[in-house]
């Protein structure tokens, strides 16, 4: 057998006990709340009484308080070592306590076993006796059970095991660790350090980060982007840390990663999005099979509260932008008013109620792909209410008039994206006479929002719009030209979401689109 791992632990008197040694050694790992360990404890004490002068007979307790309980409960006099941090148990890798190791040379086990099988304990007693050339230990074997199964080792508890993995020498965790005094309030500490968006955070302990990293097969140290404005390296590990703080489950992590890959592209321009005084923020739309697998909401309250996946995925993206990229209010985030979307905004498209190809298919992906699309939006969701229209063109006209309010009705021919979220009841009206294609809806929106150019000129009602000086250089014919709301129909992005009851659609109003602003970006989600 291979040599056992080294350790140095302290006994109840605070004296260090190191292994390996030059003396024969019997080591037994126990925990106080294990019935089988309590069965074995007097046997180990008997071994110590018989062989303690010529061998190390050590009990290793998995809790510090358990050491005293075992000592008092059984009147133990042998050295009881403290492995309450469980690092030695983790290094030894057994599954069950009691776990016993007999090393005649002080380093290599001749016998090792777990649990309590009386014949095995009798065998080890015989081997120790033979090795030390002494009589056997005084044990009433007849009073002991033939077999007891033992208990799961404490180091295998999921949270503890994840922590031990994280602290191991080859741990994938490389981020700076912050030690907090035991008397400190962790939640208040994270507020004070500026990690938070204003709401409490889940502490990103090593075990939680390890569990989060289990949501992806990608290397924890893979850098997916240099994130503006501070050009911080967005590693998978750092993303996982922010996902923990946001309250994500591990299965959400691939969506968060894909969303951050999208927002860190030059096309999306996250620096500009977060720095503009207009208060833009990413809006995430998720398509494909992953929506159902992770329990995202596309129906009732899809754009609101109550769904963990929707809320925490969007929040994780914003926390990463804040904590990795350095975009914080009062720093590079200079939003005049801000928006609740600065906390989170993520939802799934309700593909089962859509008569159209879902958003990701429209953008060139396969139906079976899972995809996240990010939009830079300055406000929303803004309700569009129509409980009266019964004809498809009437319904489409209402949606167009709802979008005309974007920024200001006087602003037309805008190179700005919008995201129109059509509810199922409005879809039913649109489809009353057959399929009402998205392009037809876009054309209808452009048509009903056409206004004479002269309506865009600043006047006594509003000083916004085209300046009077610019209008003075145009002819009456030019001022009579009709101009639609959007510079191009492609600026109108359309998805379906919401419950089956209620004739209320919504819209998100975008930021500047194009090279000087932000373009919507889609990324395929890489699942485990």
Residues 74 and 94: beta-carbon distance below 8 Å: no
pLDDT tens-place values along the chain, 528 residues long = 789 999 999 999 999 999 999 999 999 999 999 999 999 999 999 999 999 999 999 999 999 999 999 999 999 999 999 999 999 999 999 999 999 999 999 999 999 999 999 999 999 999 999 999 999 999 999 999 999 999 999 999 987 888 788 777 677 887 877 888 888 999 999 999 999 999 999 999 998 999 999 999 999 999 999 999 999 999 999 999 999 999 999 999 999 999 999 999 999 999 999 999 999 999 999 999 999 999 999 999 999 999 999 999 999 999 999 999 999 999 999 899 999 999 999 999 999 999 999 999 999 999 999 999 999 999 999 999 999 999 999 999 999 999 999 999 999 999 999 999 999 999 999 999 999 999 999 999 999 999 999 999 999 999 999 999 999 999 999 999 999 999 999 999 999 999 999 999 999 999 999 888 999 999 999 987
Burial code (b: 16+ CB inside 10 Å, e: under 16) for 227-241 equals: bbbeebebbbbbbbb
Query: Phi first, then psi: what are they for 434, rounded to 5°?
Result: 120, -175
Q: How far is CA 183 from the centre of its chain?
A: 27
Query: Residue for token digits 């919008």?
Result: 418
**Residues forming CATH 3.40.30.10 domain(s) in the chain:** 7-154
Q: Find the radius of gyration of the CA atoms of the chain.
A: 33
Rounded distance, CA 521 to CA 528, Å? 22
Rounded distance, CA 117 to CA 213, Å? 39
Q: What is the pLDDT of residue 173?
A: 82
Closest CA to 350 of 402, 296, 419: 296
Q: 7-154: CATH homologous superfamily?
A: Glutaredoxin (3.40.30.10)
Q: What is the pLDDT of residue 452?
A: 97
Q: What is the pLDDT of residue 472?
A: 95
Q: What is the pLDDT of residue 179?
A: 81
Residue 19, strand partner residues? 7
């Amino acid at each position: 057998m291979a040599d056992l791992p080294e350790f140095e632990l302290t006994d109840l008197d605070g004296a260090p006990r190191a292994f390996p040694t030059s003396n024969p050694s019997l080591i037994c790992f126990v925990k106080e709340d294990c019935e089988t360990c309590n069965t074995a404890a007097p046997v180990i004490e008997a071994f110590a009484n018989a062989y303690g002068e010529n061998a190390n007979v050590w009990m290793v307790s998995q809790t510090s308080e358990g050491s005293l309980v075992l000592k008092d409960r059984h009147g133990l006099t042998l050295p009881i070592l403290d492995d309450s941090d469980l690092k030695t148990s983790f290094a030894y890798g057994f599954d069950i306590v009691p776990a016993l190791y007999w090393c005649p040379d002080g380093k290599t086990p001749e016998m090792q076993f777990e649990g309590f099988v009386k014949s095995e304990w009798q065998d080890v007693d015989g081997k120790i006796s033979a090795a030390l050339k002494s009589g056997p230990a005084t044990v009433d074997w007849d009073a002991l059970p033939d077999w007891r199964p033992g208990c799961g080792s404490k180091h295998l508890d999921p949270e503890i095991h994840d922590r031990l993995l994280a602290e191991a020498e080859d741990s994938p965790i490389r981020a700076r660790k912050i030690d907090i005094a035991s008397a400190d309030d962790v939640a208040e500490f994270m507020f004070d350090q500026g990690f938070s968006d204003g709401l409490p955070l889940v502490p990103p302990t090593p075990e939680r980060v390890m569990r989060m990293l289990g949501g992806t097969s990608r290397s924890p140290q893979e850098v997916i982007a240099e994130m503006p404005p501070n050009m911080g390296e967005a590693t998978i590990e750092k993303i996982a840390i922010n996902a923990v703080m946001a309250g994500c489950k591990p299965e959400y992590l691939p969506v968060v990663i894909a969303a951050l890959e999208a927002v860190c592209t030059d096309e999306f321009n996250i620096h500009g999005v977060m720095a503009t005084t207009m208060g833009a923020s990413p809006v995430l739309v998720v398509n494909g099979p992953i929506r159902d697998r992770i329990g995202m909401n596309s129906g009732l309250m899809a754009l609101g509260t109550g769904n963990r996946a929707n809320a925490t995925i969007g929040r994780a993206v914003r926390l990463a932008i804040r904590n990795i990229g350095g975009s914080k209010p009062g720093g590079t985030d200079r939003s005049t008013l801000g928006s609740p979307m600065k906390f989170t905004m993520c939802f799934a498209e309700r593909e089962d109620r859509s008569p159209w190809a879902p958003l990701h298919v429209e953008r060139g992906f396969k139906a079976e792909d899972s995809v996240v699309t990010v939009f830079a939006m300055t406000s929303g969701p803004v309700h569009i209410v129509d409980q009266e229209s019964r004809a498809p063109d009437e319904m489409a006209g209402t949606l167009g008039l709802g979008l005309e309010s974007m920024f200001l009705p006087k602003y037309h021919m805008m190179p700005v994206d919008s995201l129109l979220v059509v509810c199922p009841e409005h879809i039913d009206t649109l489809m009353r006479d057959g399929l009402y294609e998205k392009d037809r809806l876009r054309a209808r929106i452009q048509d009903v929002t056409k206004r004479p150019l002269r309506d865009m000129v600043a006047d006594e009602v509003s000083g916004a719009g085209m300046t009077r000086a610019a209008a003075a250089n145009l002819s009456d014919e030019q001022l009579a030209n009709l101009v639609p709301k959007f510079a191009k129909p492609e600026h109108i992005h359309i998805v379906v979401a919401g419950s089956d009851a209620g004739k209320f659609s919504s819209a998100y109003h975008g930021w500047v689109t194009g090279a000087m602003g932000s373009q919507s970006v889609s990324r395929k989600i890489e699942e485990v």
